[in-house]
Structure 1
Amino acid sequence: MARILLTLPPLIGHLNPLLAVAAELAAAGHELAWALHTRQLGASLPDGARVFSLDAGDQITTVVLPKVRGLESVRLFFEDYALPMAEQSLPLIEQAARRFKPDVMVVDHQMIAGALVARKLGIAWLTSITTSASILRMSPMLDDWVAGQYADLQQRYLGNDTAIVRVDRPDFSPWLNLVFSIEELLGNVHARIDAPYTFLGPASGQGRRDIAFPWSWLRDDCQRILVTLGTVSRDRDSRFFEVMMAAIADIPAVQAVIVGPSSLQASAPDNVLVCDFVPQMALLKKMHGVICHAGHNTVCETLMHDLPMIVAPIRDDQPVIARQVIDAGAGLFMRHGKVTIATAKTTIEALLKTPALHHHAQRLGSALRASAGAAGAAGHIAAIADAARA
């Protein structure tokens, strides 16, 4: 059996797929350890997990949402979060690897420190990639800037050790990169970073907490849509939700469940239900369409239920994923910040009445349900561990 060290940033969305993969590996008898920020993620690990803490007094563990968008937000993410976290995590992950002596490491694509430690110590490693946007090349100028930042980081950490090859993108494994998405969604419009990939679809298997929901509110004589902006963006502003409510109020044959702040409940029309939280997977089974921010998890969960969507991206990788959904024929675009009531109404009606959108959503849903998921990822990890020990 293999010894496997997993490391990732303090982001629950990056932990969830690895929890499902780790459960598969543990069931097969492999010995696991985690190098992560226990203050943020420790409570989410299974009982008895072996943990090497990355907590440090000056550790940057919170993503500050930038006011800028697009490629500039990517640059600020590297400068203000990913690179400082790498600098601070390098000695701690190296210490964990030297103590645990793993046969293989699994490194989240945003935890560059884990990738550099694996390179320095000669440990086989795989990259865990949680979103289909992360493997795409950006603008030539930004790609060059990222390569320069990584070159400086490698020089500071590896020093004059010429035995270790420097590469432009050390965050991508030369062994294998586990992409928790499908190629049917990714498409081939944009160039990818050159690396070996396997596309696994979402890694599910972790239970979610039970959330009460008034199921009797849903009517059989209405088409139903779910409106959600995810947990991070939900409370940024209420205007988007207010526009959606006004548009849906004018479509009496439609009901909508909005996952938004409770302050909106008093002004919701009769055919709109506002909830702080919902049992999303169970609720999707009752829906006919979704309006969302194009977060990767929400997109995959929507498509796994064969549902078309309206995408209103806000930040980070959301515009890229939104474009993928539209190019794949399963979604319509809506401007998050400037959508009008009239445009929202027209777009919602088109979502529910366009057969091609439903057809392509079903096509992508079939591909997602047929994907290898957590079990497939675990198989690849175990195989590379075996090869590394041979």
Structure 2
Amino acid sequence: MTHFGILCPAKTGHLNTMLPLGRELQRRGHRVTLFGIADVQSKTLAAGLDFWRIGETEFPLGIAAQSLVQLGKLSGFAALRYNLNLIQQEAAMVLRDAPKALKEAGVEALLVNQMTLEGGSIAEFLDIPFITVCSALPLNQEDGVPPFVTSWSYNPARWAYLRNQAAYSLLNRIAQPIEKLINEYRRSWNLPPCYDVNASYSKLAQLSQIPAEFDFPRQHLPQCFHFTGPYHESASREAVPFPWEKLTGQPLIYASMGTIQNRLIDVFQRIAQACDGLDVQLVISLGGGNLDSFKELPGKPLVVKYAPQMELLKQASLTITHAGLNTVLESLNNGVPMVAIPITSDQPGTAARLAWTGAGVTVPLTKLSVSKLRVAIQEVLSQDSYKNSASRLQAAIQRAGGVRGAADIVELAISKEKPVLTTV
């Protein structure tokens, strides 16, 4: 039995990937402990895993919700910069507190979320093996593939290669404060500095929850990189009540802007207006927003604070989403096509892949209008190609291995302490 530690951002989307993987390893007899701030304790315990609190002083209970309120008001570059500041603050705390906590807990191996950039350095300092887990789009930089924060589609032309290269250079400059912070700790730990983000990921195994068919063509991923498909499971999530008796039996459109961009009230209003008059039932999940602000939406959609998303998607004909990767993958896992309204972070990149695969269309936030959204909804609902593409990706997800395949790779890498290479 191995005692695994989990290092992961305190965000629902990342937890919904890391916790099921932890549960699967626990089911196999391993011990799994998540090290995080107070706000993730309830979700961790609901998943049946152990929890060890760090960052008690600067991250009291409720701080994550306050940050989400602020982030939910932003979009585009402003939201990206705010998010990077949050990442830097959490990284400083994790670098300070996690090594001691991991050592005291007797952790023997780490599962490090790819967004936790400091995790690999901590594992190196403690001399324990670690696995990189990509909950978002893979962050691995490759000049032939547009950066995850852009809405650019794949293009093999030379000009696109140079454009991508310039964007990566800009992105790396923006992230320099985080890199500087990590290298300050590395020097204090007598470790050499690391300036290549790709080199900071695990040499044993890197796991991505997307199927290979959903990503743009890759040429330079390490041999230990595995597209395993999503790990989502309802058993690892807190129960959510829902008025199932209010479903009418009409084609169901499920709309969610996630747990961060849930305060863009005008977006939900336009979604409701676009669906009004169509022979559909619209269900809106606010992801924690205030229900009082949505009492008089056009068409009288069914609006809930939170929804049992995985169960609702089994009945959905269409998802309207901010292109958060978890919602996109859960929709594809049920063969549901999408209309994407990306806001920030990796959402533009996810939406670009959604359009590239043919499983949905994108309506940029800057061009969002009721008429454009209605046209997009009607197009996806009426044209079989979108449903067929979503079904094709559904089959790819089912072949990819999922959480069990990912756990197999983790166990093999840790037990052999050698890279687990892809077989394709």
Rate the CA distance shift 1:328–1:49 in 2: closer, same or farther, 3 A: closer
CA RMSD of aligned residues (A): 2.8
Cα distance change of structure 1 residues 158 and 228 upon mapping to structure 2, 3 Å threshold:
closer
Q: 1:248 aligns with which of 272, 275, 282?
A: 275
Distance 2:175 2:267 in 1: 37
Contact 1:66 1:76 in 2 (8 A): no
Secondary structure, aligned partner of 2:296: helix
SS in 2 for 1:45: helix
Q: Secondary structure at the match of 2:409?
A: helix
Aligned to 1:274: 303
- Work out which of the residue numbers 233, 255, 259 in structure 1 matches 2:285: 259
What is aligned with 2:19?
19
Unaligned runs of 5+ in 2: 148-166, 419-424
Q: Is the 8 A contact 2:73 2:264 kept in 1?
A: no
One of 226, 246, 271 as aligned partner of 1:198: 226
Q: Is the 8 A contact 2:131 2:204 kept in 1?
A: yes
Q: Give the Cα separation in 2 of the matches to 1:33 and 1:150.
A: 25
Superposition map of 1:350-365 within 5 A? 350-365=379-394
1:9 match: secondary structure: coil
Residue 340 to residue 6, structure 1, CA distance change in 2 (3 Å): closer
In structure 1, the residue matched to 2:71 is 65
Partners of 1:314 and 1:336 within 8 A in 2: yes
Work out the CA distance in 2 between the residues paired with 1:192 and 1:116: 23
1:154-192 residue CA offsets vs partner (Å, 9 max, x unmatched): 43112276664634115422221111111111122x787
Partner Cα separation in structure 2 for residue 259 and residue 52 of structure 1: 31
Look up the equivalent residue of 1:297 and give its one-letter code.
Answer: N
Q: Return the alpha-carbon distance in structure 1 between the equivalents of residues 49 and 311 of structure 2.
A: 29
2:353 is aligned to 324
Match of 1:131 in 2: 136
Shift of 1:66: 7.8
| CA drift at 1:50 | 4.2
Pick closer, same or farther for the CA change 1:216–1:10 going to 2, 3 Å: closer
Is 1:211 aligned to residue 241 of structure 2? Answer: yes
| Structure 2 residue 212 is matched with structure 1 residue 177 | no
Q: Is the 8 A contact 1:262 1:275 kept in 2?
A: no
CA offsets 1:104-162 (integer angstroms, 9 cap, x no match): 21111222332211112222111121012534553132243267445423431122766
Amino acid at match of 2:298: A
Look up the match of 1:119: 124
Equivalent residues of 1:172, 1:195 under 8 A apart: no
TM-score (norm 1): 0.87
- Structure 1 residue 304 corresponds to structure 2 residue 333: yes
> Which amino acid is 1:233 matched to?
Q
**Offset, 1:59:** 4.1
What is the CA deviation profile of residues 46-81 of structure 1, one whole-angstrom value per residue up to 9, with x for unaligned ones?
488544321231249634418764456434432x11
Shift of 1:371: 2.5
Describe the shift of the 1:276–1:4 C-alpha distance in structure 2 as closer, same or farther (beyond 3 A): closer
Q: Which residue of 1 aligns with 2:169?
A: 141
Report the 3-state secondary structure (helix = DSSP H, G, I; strand = E; otherwise coil) of the residue aligned with 1:18.
helix
Q: Render the CA deviation track for 1:298-354: whole Å, top value 9, x for unaligned.
A: 101111111111101111111110001000000011133542222222221111111
Which one of 71, 74, 85 corresponds to residue 80 of structure 2?
Answer: 74
Letter in 2 for 1:23: R
User: Structure 1 residues 124 and 226 mapped into 2: Cα distance closer, same or farther (>3 Å)?
Assistant: same
Equivalenced residues, count: 381
Q: Give the distance between the partners of 1:45 and 1:77, measured in 2 at CA.
A: 23
Residue equivalent to 2:94: 89
Query: What is residue 7 of structure 1 aligned with on the other side?
Result: 7
**Separation of aligned partners in 2, 1:284 and 1:353:** 18
2:52 alignment partner in structure 1: 52
Distance 1:195 1:56 in 2: 39
Q: Partner amino acid for 1:40?
A: D
Whether the aligned pair in 2 keeps the contact of 1:180 and 1:199 (CA below 8 Å) is: yes
5 Å matches for 1:163-174? 164=192, 166-169=194-197, 171-174=200-203
Aligned to 1:238: 265
Task: Determine the C-alpha separation between the residues in 2 that align with 1:66 and 1:275.
Answer: 18
Structure 2 distance, partners of 1:94, 1:216, is 50
Provide the TM-score with structure 2 as the length reference: 0.81
Distance 1:194 1:71, change over 3 A: farther
- What CA distance in whole angstroms lies between the structure 2 residues aligned with 1:229 and 1:321? 14
Task: Indicate the percent of aligned positions where both proteins have the same amino acid.
Answer: 23
